[in-house]
Structure 1
Amino acid sequence: MIRLENVHKQYAAGRAALAEVDLEIARGEVFGIIGRSGAGKSTLVRLLNGLERPSGGRVLVDGTDLATLDGTGLRALRRRVGMIFQNFGLLSARTVFDNVALPLRIAGADAATIRARVPELLARVGLADYGARYPAQLSGGQKQRVGIARALATGPDILLCDEATSALDPETTRSILALIADLNRELGLTIVLITHEMEVVRQVCDRVAVLHAGRLVERGAVADIFLAPGTAETRALLHEDEAEATPIPFDGPVLRLTLRGDAVAAPVISRIARETGTDVAILDGRVGQFKDERFSQLTLGLSGGDTRAALAALHGLGAVAA
């Protein structure tokens, strides 16, 4: 659905905002793009919705090179690409109804179409009774739901979310992410989430790419990237989001075991301990979920019994030295 081919963006002399970015986003997936401030995330968004043109390379949406579009073509593209903003972007002097109706009016929809479409959109985001209210009368989560309804007004194929939850509290963030996941599943939208929040990516994304200093340093399935990051930049991002554990002194082999899917509920540790007579201490660990896949990642210490056999069995499950 979206393809970037050797994309480069330079605003002025100095370091490029983006350099040598190659990326493919499949139709219907939820794709996360993470990185620190200044990594190039906002520049990438502006390239995807046609607000900026690359200095080099190509940005293609559904096979169309955005650099070849004239004003009419870009306006048509933007009706296919919905946008959700960090600061909601609502007009304070307009009602919720009028805020949602704005893209339809810009697109030239008639009054009857608007009267039918806006209540449908508000119902979809859980605000069926809020059309007559003003933004000042809404909570942050409700404002973002209005922003989502507005982004859906023209029936887009793609939804770009630029730090859409960073101004919200954790509970509201979860509800907005659940809504975004529902829209992906029910409407088949291709969704691109630009964020620095690791939990956002964990909850809803299928795949993720990591930007650092304008370059794409890593990409892949969310679970693969988070459980086994391949670059120093990704590991640093993950460590910022997690409390550093104080190492526990242990006199014996120490391994890190990662289990995914159905294996999480399997009694593999107790079985290995029983069969080898080895004592297994859990020194550190976490259990959680990436979208639809459960995982556990445990740091284990071994002592006594047939330690060599226990090591072999754990290595067979993918354990590595900690």
Structure 2
Amino acid sequence: MIRLEGVEKSFDGGHAALAGVDLDIAAGEIFGIIGRSGAGKSTLVRLLNGLERPSAGRVLVDGIDVATLRAEPLRALRRRIGMIFQNFGLLSSRTAAGNVALPLRIAGASSADIAAKVPALLDRVGLADHGGRYPAQLSGGQKQRVGIARALATGPDMLLCDEATSALDPETTRSILALIADLNRDLGLTILLITHEMDVVRQVCDRVAVLHTGRIVESGHVADLFLDPQAPETHALLAEAGEDTDAADPGFAGTILRFTLEGGATWEPVLTRIARETGVDFAILGGRIGRFKTARYGQFTLGLTGGDTEAAIAALRRHGRVAA
């Protein structure tokens, strides 16, 4: 659905916002782009909808080179791409219904079509009774739901979410992410989610790429990046989010390793069984149990002492992932 081939983007003064980005996003998946401020995330979004043009390389959306489009073909492409923003982008002088209707009016939809579509869109995002309210009368989460309904108005097949939850509290963030996941599942939308929050990626994305100073330093399935990160920048982002379990007491007198369980194995008494079988004592030096979308995982930094350590490590490998 989306492909970037050697994409570079430089601005006046020679500043390179993107430097040689290659990326493939499949139709129907939720793909996360994560990185700190200044990494180039928003620039990447603006290339996808043609608000910026690459200095080098190609940006392809459903096989179409975005940089070659002008006028009506570009407007037609943008109608296929819904945008959701951090600051909601609602017009304060229009009601929720009026904001949702705006892209339909711009696209030339008839009054009858607008009258039929707007209530259905508001109902789709859980705001059936809020159409007559103005943005000032809505909470942050409700404003973002209006923004999502507006993004859906022209019937897009992809959504670009640029820090869509950054202005929301944790509980509201979870509800908005659940709505995004529902839209992906029910409508088959391809969703690109730009964020600096690791927890957002963990909750909703299928795959993720880590962007650092204009380059993708690591990409893959969410579970792989969280449970076995390779790039230093990925480790740093995980540590800042409290997701990295690598830290251990350097004074521990024994073997230290990282052990990961996934799916149903997370709830099994694996360590107890292996301790009985091998005589090894396990000390849990760090760790967490969490969830990727619908899949559970547990990751622990373990200290092993006594007994048959080699047999214990072999048994751990049979049940999950082991890393030194």
Bin for the TM-score computed over the shorter chain: over 0.9
Aligned mate of 1:296, from 265, 276, 298:
298
CA distance in 1, matches of 2:244, 2:8: 36
Matches within 5 A, 1:130-279: 130-242=130-242, 247-248=248-249, 249-279=251-281
Whole-angstrom CA distance in 2 between matches of 1:225 and 1:4: 21
Distance of 2:224 and 2:16 partners within structure 1 = 29
CA distance in 2 between counterparts of 1:13 and 1:251 reads 54
Give me the whole-angstrom Cα distance separating, in 1, the residues matched to 2:315 and 2:235.
28
Q: Distance in 1 between matches of 2:316 and 2:216?
A: 34
Residues in 1 aligned to 2:309 and 2:54: alpha-carbon distance in whole angstroms: 57
Q: Distance in 1 between matches of 2:310 and 2:54?
A: 56
Q: CA deviation at 1:254?
A: 1.6
**Mapped partners of 1:145, 1:164: distance in 2:** 10
Shift of residue 67, structure 1, vs aligned partner: 1.4
Amino acid at match of 2:185: R
Pairwise mapping of residues 5-154 of structure 1 onto structure 2 (< 5 A)?
5-154=5-154
Point out the more displaced range, 272-281 or 245-254.
Answer: 245-254
Q: Secondary structure at the match of 2:191?
A: strand
- 1:265 positional shift: 2.4
Structure 2: segments with no counterpart, 5+ residues: none
Between the aligned residues of both structures, percent identity stands at 73
- Paired residues of 2:280 and 2:309 also in contact (CA < 8 A): yes
> 1:39-69, CA deviations, whole angstroms, 9 ceiling, x for partnerless residues?
0001000001111111111111111111121
Alignment match, 1:318: 321
CA contact (8 A) 2:248 2:301 kept: no
Mapped to 1, the partners of 2:67 and 2:323 lie a distance apart of 47
Secondary structure of residue in 2 paired with 1:167: coil
Deviation at 1:35, TM superposition (A): 0.5
Report if aligned partners of 2:34, 2:195 keep a CA contact under 8 Å in 1: yes
By how many angstroms is 1:244 displaced?
7.8
Aligned mates of 1:244, 1:125 — CA distance in 2: 34
Q: CA RMSD in A?
A: 1.4
The range that moved more, 245-254 or 84-93, is 245-254
Q: Under a length normalisation based on structure 1, what TM-score does the superposition of the two structures give? A: 0.96
With over 3 angstroms needed to count, the CA separation of the structure-2 counterparts of 1:128 and 1:15, relative to structure 1, is same
1:281 match: 283
CA displacement at 1:12 relative to structure 2: 1.8
Structure 1 residues 274 and 32: alpha-carbon distance in aligned structure 2, compared to 1, 3 A threshold:
same
One-letter amino acid of the counterpart of residue 255, structure 2:
P
- Which is further off, 100-109 or 232-241? 232-241
Q: SS of 1:53's equivalent?
A: coil
Q: 1:243 to 1:22 in 2, by over 3 A?
A: closer
Shift of 1:111: 0.3
**1:3 alignment counterpart:** 3
Mean alpha-carbon deviation: is it higher for 230-239 or for 102-111? 230-239
Cα distance in structure 2, aligned partners of 1:181 and 1:135: 24
The Cα of 1:315 is off from its aligned counterpart by 4.4
Gaps of 5+ in 1: none
Separation in 2, partners of 1:88, 1:253: 51
C-alpha distance in structure 2 between counterparts of 1:148 and 1:165, whole Å: 12
Alpha-carbon displacement from aligned partner over 1:140-159 (angstroms, at most 9, x marks no partner): 00000000000000000010
The change in CA–CA distance for 1:14 and 1:67 in structure 2 (over 3 A counts) is: closer
Contact 2:84 / 2:161 at 8 angstroms: preserved in 1?
yes
| Counterpart-to-counterpart distance in 2, 1:238 and 1:307 | 29
Q: Give, as a single letter, the amino acid of the residue that structure 2 aligns with 1:319.
A: V
| 272-281 vs 143-152, which moves further | 272-281
Residues 25, 244 of structure 1: alpha-carbon distance in 2 compared, 3 angstrom cutoff: closer
